[in-house]
Structure 1
């Protein structure tokens, strides 16, 4: 039950109610849904989510590297990113380290027995991470805010930067209140120890960890900036013209991390998918593009590698600098000149994959749907 977190109350709730995003009972998306983003005629039933789709899970393990030795050396360009799975990325920026949406747990679920199970372990153990200067939690969904991960990270004495209301969950999971900063859109946290800022920006999504707390906390994209570099992290979002405003107010960006997986035609207003991610990148003004939110959990009906394969085919035609590292591969975006389709051999490899009965397990009743 502890994994459900805690609902905001008291002064925290009053601050949330003062937000322009508050709509009486919860937060809301304030920018209109673009035409054609959502196809209500293709709704997904729970039974289809559990048993539908093809190739939703890789047959073998994805290639994975241990980044510990690389992390001992400073990046020559001052900016390096290590994709650790799903939306978890260690960003090294001008001598500082920021971790996005840390999830080391086995499942994106309130239950340890049911719900979407990760394809394979994170390339590096949580206890082996180098010292961090900040941790970002974009919103409170289970594949972005993971109870066992936060419980362990609460011992690390690191600042957490998150969206309005999410601090109630973090406190319930053991993080000291003095280490938590909750932001409304366009608000910033500044490190007291270094020239590092993190600014919350618009996204188009929803929140909730149970059946009765939908939109009770805010969701955000986040911009990490130092005097030399800027990095955009989408969190979860649908395509929105607010990205033009983000570009004008916070851009340009050296690295753009956009979600590309767990998409479906009926969820087009709350998830990008690869094609809309390319449109979002254009609205943001470009920059090296590192796709996230794929290759770790089966959260939609599409094939596990469809998002990245689509990007691999379409991005070069649009002149996009694509950055597609393997799990645990630390890359400096400005030095990447080509992409190797390393994922193509995964389904021909020998490996355990997931048990055949995994998809037959029901989702926990307290989990909202879509699950992300």
Structure 2
């Protein structure tokens, strides 16, 4: 009997080790590649970048001092207010109708930052993340508050996939691999991120790497890589790839996607050079006094939208993952108040709900019953 119990423990321990090994098997690939070691051509381009100094990319705009230790009371607040940072019930989802891409500007926000934008008959997918957790390990990291409204395999063919930076909640290896197999579109990325994509099996001919203010034409659309105030890194090493925002311009219509960014004066210059914009996709969540320069708050998002010359603001970077201490619905509540006070047009769709910028629905406060 004792031998039987010992054998059972050994088998159970082996099974646990095997399960742990399976869960961790993709972690080395998830961490990506240091781009300076991925080839001489890419390394030379990176070193020539005005944003690259002393071995890392930097924000050229002045930065305040980030809080180096957790703010007083953060641990207590994390434990005490957990329920406020997630929805009180199921998040309502919508399934967008299939059909031809809009001849104007139409957007489908799938949750967090993932957004499909149709502009003058073309489709652009921003920061696609379909995984359950934005993490290198399947068992760790924040879980989704809602499923994706559409399975990845049911997406229509897109014309371009644009990535803002390499953090896990914006660049997801599993999603990239699926899109590589199911789609034909190129990936437009800031400098250095092509090294990650190549490791994950994206062919080099489908990767377009750009520095700030460089541009490329894809499917009749002009893509301009523009500035953001953020940082990068998939390991403890930071800023070995560039981060940014995107201008997407058709013959007559324009869209701006801010990616992740703190507020900075450069939005006025982007608006003057590339705007005005029919639609801005602005991050409004995951802000904190502990990191004031890397995520803007809702009032700053309105400021940036006005600087850009935006006509309609669609908030992103909220609702799907808990990445900061603020209550779940606070970003859109603050945004709605600020927009009304400053006569700014916004739309707050449910995940999966299609928005035509020429006939945008009124804000109906659908999130209020969940906060």
1:263: which partner in 2?
287
* Cα distance, 1:163 vs structure 2: 0.3
1:288: which partner in 2?
312
2:14: which partner in 1?
none
1:14 aligns with 2:14: no
Question: Aligned to 1:137, which of 163, 169, 182?
Answer: 163
1:314 aligns with 2:338: yes
8 A Cα contact 1:291 1:324, kept in partner? yes
1:353: which partner in 2?
none
Cα deviation code 1:214-251 (max 9, x no counterpart): 00000000011101110000000000001011011111
8 A Cα contact 2:287 2:296, kept in partner? yes
2:5: which partner in 1?
none
* Cα distance, 1:66 vs structure 2: 0.8
Cα deviation code 1:162-188 (max 9, x no counterpart): 100001111111111110001100011
Q: Which of 1 and 2 has greater Rg?
A: 2
Aligned residue pairs: how many? Answer: 339
1:62: which partner in 2?
91
1:181 aligns with 2:205: no
8 A Cα contact 1:288 1:334, kept in partner? no
> Superposition RMSD on alpha carbons, in Å?
1.9
CA distance in 2 between partners of 1:93 and 1:286 (Å): 15
Question: Aligned to 2:325, which of 298, 301, 317?
Answer: 301
CA distance in 2 between partners of 1:217 and 1:264 (Å): 24
CA distance in 2 between partners of 1:179 and 1:28 (Å): 27
8 A Cα contact 2:225 2:245, kept in partner? yes
8 A Cα contact 2:127 2:171, kept in partner? yes
Q: Deviation above 4 Å: which 4+ runs of structure 1? A: 37-42, 44-50
Q: Indicate how the Cα distance of structure 1 residues 49 and 182 shifts in structure 2: closer, same or farther if over 3 A, else same.
A: farther
TM-score, length-scaled by structure 1: 0.87
Q: Structure 2 stretches of 5 or more lacking a match?
A: 1-27
1:24 aligns with 2:50: no
8 A Cα contact 1:58 1:304, kept in partner? yes
2:263: which partner in 1?
239
**Larger helix fraction of residues:** 2
CA distance in 1 between partners of 2:73 and 2:207 (Å): 37
Cα deviation code 1:73-114 (max 9, x no counterpart): 543x61100000100100001110000000000101111001
8 A Cα contact 1:161 1:180, kept in partner? yes
1:163 aligns with 2:193: no
Query: Structure with the greater relative contact order (CA < 8 A, sep ≥ 6): 1 or 2?
Result: 1
CA distance in 2 between partners of 1:13 and 1:47 (Å): 41
Q: Indicate how the Cα distance of structure 1 residues 105 and 188 shifts in structure 2: closer, same or farther if over 3 A, else same.
A: same
* Cα distance, 1:43 vs structure 2: 3.4
2:6: which partner in 1?
none
